[in-house]
Amino acid sequence: MTVDGFDWDRGNWPVCAGHGLTRAEIESVFVGELTVFDEPEDRNREPRFKAIGYSKSGQPVFVVFRMSRFGSLSLVRPISARYLRRKEVRYYEFETDGDAPTLAFAGI
């Protein structure tokens, strides 16, 4: 899956900012190697994904997002983002073992 940019507004930005990350840090997670997991489906909302990657500063970050369309563009809409704790990093490195799908970022 390739994405063309990000969908930010007053609905999703305050939630992400509340965990101490900047937009640039969250967006940088999608530029590097990223592990993406499907979130269990809920018939009453759009599909969501969980992603784990590293910010440009090298910090491990956990992002919940959904995909949105704007014309022909495919955009990542972050729902929540936060830094991972060391224990979580060890858990995900062990559990994923490189098997999870990745997301290619086309750039903005």
The predicted-structure confidence for 9-53, as pLDDT tens digits, reads as follows 998 899 888 989 999 999 999 987 888 887 777 666 788 899 988
- pLDDT confidence band for 103 (50 / 70 / 90): very low
State pTM to two decimals.
0.78
How far, in Å, CA of 79 to CA of 57, rounded? Answer: 21
Enter the DSSP assignment of 35: E
For residue 49, the number of C-alpha atoms closer than 13 Å in the C-beta half-sphere is 19
